[in-house]
């Protein structure tokens, strides 16, 4: 069996031909053991070291393995998985292919270059051995890391919360059929700070509309931690109409958390703004120009114990006349500003979820156990924290300051490198013509300045 594997490996390393150029043969051979296609792992290593999320996660996971027999410490396993996710390798299966990649070894901390990283079975056992208590501690570790990212109290924090669908294909725990999406899915909560895009928390949950207890339970824990660190910072909760439940509104007001929330349309609300709807329709028919108007009024739903401020946005376009509503406790701000700037600003949360879910593949929750899938969600969340930190610090002021994670990966992380190990150094040899060179240098300089501080 071993002889067969060696023979196959030798065959795969032989040169193979491409279309010749005139009389010149063009060949390729995968025979460079010191090469890596992921030289950007060096950048992720520096950012992870400065950010601290990997160390924070490793410090709260209990490791019951017998120490002398442990080849892969918890921190190494988390770092390996996180670096691979940042580079586009979202599956644990990828560990088998990349366990001897020298750039990834250096990023993880295997500085000798001789011992392999964890294989797929090791990583899968790790993911499935994390306990519920570990996950609770990890949840709070993410919130603490978020708070640690502020050197001083910010003027305000906006808590953006939104569930998103994770399609399932097997018998995953918590999977439910969602008629709106017409598929079996999970719907984890994603919570971000709305002005900065920093991740606060992610929480796996069943594939259905969130209940009042789920919303309040998550908010209660987040708000408590923020208030302990920054007791005077104003908090604004921003979400769609699924979160506008009477008990949620009561809790927000009782705990002095401001809110700007979507409001489901009903006949009473439409009747209140009917004059504005008629005006918008007439204006568009006369001028054939888009009309947008706003109206603010007090309203109490049958399940509310008091009246609250409702803001209506009425718009007439080629698609017809459309009315949207939000509810808020901010009485002094203008209706147009609250709707267009504050509420519509939650569209940025959709972009954050897209980065997390599509570019970092956090929807790959394919374990059977809900605990293992929650841990996977945390691993992808760690990758989000690192990539966001990289973009907001190293890339600040550059042409990639607003680039997507996918663009950053293609431009900076997927860089060929030859890794040289010496007695007193490890040197990455990168392409001389690489456009990523200035940003590699910038990362090294910022890391050196941080170490000096």
The count of structural domains within the chain is 2
Domain of residue 402, residue span: 35-130+375-452
d(CA 187, CA 206): 6
Confidence of residue 114 (pLDDT cuts 50, 70, 90): low
Q: Does one domain contain both 356 and 239?
A: yes
Q: Is residue 19 a part of any domain in this protein?
A: no
Which residue is it, tokens 């509810």? Answer: 327
**Among 342, 363, 384, where does a domain finish?**
363
Tell whether 240 is covered by a domain. yes
Q: CB count, 10 Å around CB of 247?
A: 13
Residue 3: the pLDDT is 54
Which pair of structure tokens corresponds to residue 160?
């953006």
167 and 252, same domain (yes or no): yes
Higher pLDDT, 71 or 41: 41
Q: Which residues pair with 318 in a beta bridge?
A: none
Single out the residue in 340, 363, 386 at which a domain terminates: 363
Check if the beta carbon of residue 60 is closer than 8 Å to that of residue 134. yes
Domain co-membership, 412 together with 346: no
Q: Is 438 inside any structural domain?
A: yes
Q: How confident is the model at residue 318 (pLDDT cuts 50, 70, 90)?
A: confident
Q: Assess whether 302 and 163 both reside in one domain.
A: yes
Any domain includes 331: yes
104 or 421, greater pLDDT? 104
**Claim to verify: residue 325 and residue 394 sit in the same structural domain:** no
Contact 84, 355 (CB under 8 A): no
217 in any annotated domain: no
In degrees, rounded to 5, the angle at the alpha carbon of residue 49 between the alpha carbons of residues 47 and 53 is: 90
Pairing of the two strands 235-239 and 258-263 = parallel
Binned at pLDDT 50, 70 and 90, residue 65 comes out as confident
Per-residue pLDDT tens digits for 327-336: 999 998 999 9
SS3 321: strand
What distances in angstroms separate CA 240 from CA 247, 312, 315, 346, one per listed residue?
A: 15, 15, 19, 9
Q: What is the pLDDT of residues 344-390, one digit of tens each?
A: 999 999 999 999 999 999 999 989 999 999 999 999 999 999 999 99
Mean pLDDT taken over the chain: 92
Regarding whether 352 and 262 lie in a shared domain, the answer is yes
165 and 293 both lie in a single domain: yes
Same domain, yes or no: 52 and 177? no
Statement: residue 269 has pLDDT above 90: yes
pTM across the whole model: 0.93
pLDDT attached to residue 111: 77
Q: Report if residue 93 sits inside a domain.
A: yes
Residue at 171 is within a domain: yes
Tell me if 401 is assigned to some domain: yes
């Amino acid at each position: 069996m071993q002889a067969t594997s060696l023979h196959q490996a030798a065959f795969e390393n032989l040169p193979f031909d491409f279309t010749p150029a005139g009389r010149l043969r063009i060949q390729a051979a995968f025979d460079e053991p010191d090469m890596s296609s992921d030289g950007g792992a060096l950048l992720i290593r520096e950012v992870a070291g400065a950010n601290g999320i990997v160390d924070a996660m490793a410090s709260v996971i209990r490791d019951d393995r017998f120490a002398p027999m442990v080849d892969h410490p918890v921190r190494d396993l988390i770092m390996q998985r996180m670096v691979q996710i940042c580079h586009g390798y979202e599956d644990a299966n990828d560990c088998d292919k990349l366990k001897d990649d020298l750039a990834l070894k250096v990023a993880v901390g295997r500085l000798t270059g001789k011992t392999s990283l964890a294989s797929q079975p090791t990583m899968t056992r790790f993911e499935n051995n994390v306990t519920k208590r570990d996950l609770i501690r990890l949840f709070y570790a993410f919130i603490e890391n978020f708070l640690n990212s502020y050197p001083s109290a910010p003027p305000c924090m906006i808590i953006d919360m939104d569930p998103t669908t994770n399609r399932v294909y097997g018998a995953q725990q918590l999977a439910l059929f969602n008629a709106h999406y017409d598929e079996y899915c999970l719907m984890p909560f994603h919570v971000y700070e709305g002005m900065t895009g920093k991740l606060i928390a992610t929480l796996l949950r069943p594939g259905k509309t969130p209940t009042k207890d789920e919303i309040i339970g998550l908010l209660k824990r987040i708000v408590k931690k923020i208030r302990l660190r920054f007791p005077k910072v104003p908090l604004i909760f921003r979400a769609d109409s699924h979160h506008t439940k009477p008990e949620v509104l009561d809790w927000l007001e009782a705990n002095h958390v401001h809110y700007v929330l979507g409001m489901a349309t009903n006949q009473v609300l439409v009747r209140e703004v009917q004059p504005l709807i008629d005006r918008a329709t007439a204006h568009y028919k006369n001028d054939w120009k888009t009309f947008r108007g706003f109206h603010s009024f007090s309203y109490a739903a049958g399940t509310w114990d008091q009246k609250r401020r409702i803001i209506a946005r009425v718009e007439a376009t080629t698609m017809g006349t459309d009315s949207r509503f939000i509810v808020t406790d901010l009485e002094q701000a203008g209706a147009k500003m609250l709707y267009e700037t504050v509420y519509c600003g939650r569209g940025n949360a959709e972009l954050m979820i897209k980065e997390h879910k599509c570019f970092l593949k956090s929807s790959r929750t394919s374990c059977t156990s809900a605990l293992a899938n929650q841990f996977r969600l945390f691993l992808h969340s760690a990758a989000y924290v690192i990539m966001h930190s990289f973009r907001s610090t190293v890339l600040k002021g550059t042409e990639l300051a607003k680039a997507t994670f996918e663009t950053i990966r293609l431009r900076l992380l997927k860089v060929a490198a030859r890794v040289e190990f010496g007695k007193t150094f490890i040197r990455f040899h990168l392409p001389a013509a690489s456009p990523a060179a200035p940003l590699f240098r910038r990362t090294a300089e910022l890391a050196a300045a941080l170490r000096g501080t």
